[in-house]
Each structure stands twice: as C-alpha cells, then as structure tokens.
Amino acid sequence: MKKLIKNVIWSIKHRPFRYSKTFLALSELVKFDERENFLEMVMDYARSSRLNGDYLEFGVFKGHTFISSFHLANSQGRNLSNMRFFAFDSFQGLPKPKGIDIENFDHFKEGDYSFSFDDFVRNLKKSSVDMKRVIITPGWFNKTLNSKLKEKFKLKKASIVYIDCDLYSSTVDVLNFVKDLIHPGTLIAFDDWFTFRGSPDQGEQLAFKTWLKKNPKIKVEEFRKFGWYGNSFIVVKTK
C-alpha cells in the first residue's frame, strides 16, 4: 500500500515535468501524451494478463517512454514488481544506412536522435527511476544483441517489447534477438509503424512482415494503434 501511494504521489508531482522545455519540445507534447496513455493501457494489460517477463525497449533516446513505462508499471502494484527494465541504444543516433534503408534515408540522417549515455542516466535518476531494476546496454544492435547478453543478465522472457528504432535493418536485429524471449501474451509495440507514409514495404512494417514470414509458427493479433505513428501486437502463439 505504501508503495502504491508513493507511485500516485510521483505521478501527481511529475506529470507537469513532461511539459518542461528542458525535457520536451512543444511540438512533442501531444505525441508524448498519446504514447503515455497507450503505455498505461499496456501496463494494465500486463497486470491483468499476469504476464511474466521483463520490459525491453530498443531506441530509448532521452528516456521519455522508458521513464513513463517504469512508473506506469509500478502504479500497477505487486503484479509487475519483479519486472526488470532493459534499455538498448547506440547513444550515437541512427546508424549508417545499408540495404533497403539507403533508399529511404532522405527521411532520416545518420546520427539522428543522438543522446549521450550519461544524459540518459541523468534523466532516469532525475525522474526517480529505481536504477537497481534497470539494465542499460549501449552499442549498435548488430553488435550487442546476442546470446551472451541474455546469459549475462539471465534474460529469458519478455513481457513487453517496445521498438523505436525507425529503420528496417535495426528492427530486423531486434526481432531476431527477441524471438526466443517472446511467449503467448508478449506485447510488441512499434513506435514508427506508420513513419514511411504507412508503407508496408519500408521500415518497421517490412521488418515485422518479413520476420513473421520466416517464423510461421509465431502468430500475433493486433492490439492497439497509438498516435498517428504507432501500432502494437500481442503474441498468441510461438510453437
């Protein structure tokens, strides 16, 4: 009960924080609010469904989504109290394009969304995130997402996978990494689902479509769209 009250107090005290010019640009306010409402629904789903596993976010930038996810999970009480929060990011921005991403790179520039590791940690601490439950892995996805990392942190199950890495190649790396971590009930959210004017042959949409085709035993059902940009799915079958 004390922990629940503490989380409610945090929410009341820190909601105005997201409107600070030092944390969010004015143009991002509505987008952030829509995302936060979605995340609140996600955590309610995770609690109600009694999901087991950790929260994994790929492409954390300044930590807006990561911070919200942490506190919204805590607001659900004991059910999600064992959830760990994994943050994956190069902290150097978007990688140099390759393959199909070269064709679409007029939409982004190499190095976009760069934000330092130290500043990311500082934002988390400033927002009262319990760093004992946080594991941060800096580096390019094609270098860091491997079995050694899973073994090191005893990462066996993912309850929520939040993908915000824009590009096709990066999303492929993420999906291949989480393949043996997902289970019936795992929720996979794509922050940039409609980025390329909604094209199913670019970015995260293409990566997901290709991945499902290569792994026909994995079945998903659409969960919720959020904002103009995002979409999410629940894994219903893996075998």
Burial degree of 12 (CB within 10 A; 0-12, 13-18, 19+)? exposed
pLDDT by residue for the chain (239 residues), tens only, comes to 454 444 444 444 444 334 333 444 544 544 557 899 999 999 999 999 999 999 999 999 999 999 999 999 999 988 898 999 999 999 998 887 777 877 765 667 777 888 999 999 999 999 999 999 999 999 999 999 999 999 999 999 999 999 999 899 999 999 999 999 999 999 999 999 998 888 899 899 999 999 999 999 999 999 999 999 999 999 999 99
* Number of domains comprising the chain: 1
Strand segments, DSSP code E, in 7-145 are: 54-58, 85-89, 134-138
Cα 210 from Cα 197, distance rounded (Å): 19
Which CATH number do you get for residue 80? 3.40.50.150
Domain range spanning residue 135? 2-237
User: pTM to 2 decimals?
Assistant: 0.86
